[in-house]
């Protein structure tokens, strides 16, 4: 389960970095006209990254509860990468839409590896 765990660490760190860059460069126009909406969205994304990071690190440290937390975080990622591309599709940014689809496939594969390992342990 190390590969899915490292994938989770990478996704979480990249998510924090992405929002850091967006905020630092002023690339979040919703901060001016949809403040509450973007605040809830960003909160959900930070919680998602934190849950995924926590579960990933717990798996790497061989904590029994890590798999459950990881799967919750990965489920949050699946929801997010299905929901979030709509914003970018609306603005015609198809490269980012494609990136989200790649993340969807990779996340589903990571979950499949974790579930496969769980089934082997039974």
Rounded Cα distance, 102 and 106, in Å: 6
Spatial contact of 97 and 89, defined as CB atoms under 8 Å apart:
yes
Residue 36 has pLDDT above 80, yes or no: yes
The residue whose two tokens read 């790497």 is 60
What average pLDDT is seen over the chain?
95
pLDDT confidence of residue 2: 94
Which tokens is 38 given? 């973007």
Residue 87 has pLDDT above 90, yes or no: no
Spatial contact of 77 and 66, defined as CB atoms under 8 Å apart:
no
**pTM for this structure?**
0.91
Rounded Cα distance, 55 and 90, in Å: 33
């Amino acid at each position: 389960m190390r590969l899915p765990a490292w994938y989770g660490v990478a996704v979480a760190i990249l998510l924090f970095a992405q929002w850091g860059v967006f905020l630092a460069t002023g690339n979040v126009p919703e901060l001016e006209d949809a403040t509450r909406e973007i605040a809830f969205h960003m909160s959900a994304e930070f919680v998602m990254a934190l849950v995924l990071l926590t579960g990933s690190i717990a798996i790497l440290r061989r904590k029994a509860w890590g798999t459950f937390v990881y799967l919750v975080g990965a489920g949050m990622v699946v929801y997010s990468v299905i929901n979030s591309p709509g914003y970018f599709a609306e603005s015609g940014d198809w490269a980012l839409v494609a990136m989200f689809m790649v993340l969807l496939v990779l996340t589903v594969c990571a979950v499949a590896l974790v579930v496969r390992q769980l089934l082997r342990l039974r």
